[in-house]
Amino acid sequence: MKSNGEVVCPRCGVKMEYRVEIEFGENGSKKIRYYYRCPRCGYRESDLLIIVRRDGAGKIVIEKEEYIKRVKGR
């Protein structure tokens, strides 16, 4: 990892891309994953996981918010 917030792959040294992935689950819930992925070797490092759903009144409820790895400078 470099000090300017750039994340480098520990396997091959290439600058990793920051990505988001949304998985639609049962009962209308959604898992939103933020992660770093190396475009060369495919190495993946998790950053943040959020699970959201709607309650009976239609409001959005955050069930889980898990900070796995936070990079300073982002």
- C-beta separation of 1 from 7 below 8 A: yes
Supply the pLDDT for residue 43.
Answer: 96
Query: Is the pTM value of this prediction over 0.85?
Result: no
Sign of the dihedral through C-alpha 69, 46, 33, 25: negative
Q: What average pLDDT score do residues 15-20 get?
A: 96
Q: Kindly state the percentage of the chain with pLDDT values over 90.
A: 58
Supply the pLDDT for residue 2.
Answer: 45
Cα–Cα distances in angstroms (integers) from residue 19 to residues 37, 57, 73, in the given order? 7, 31, 17
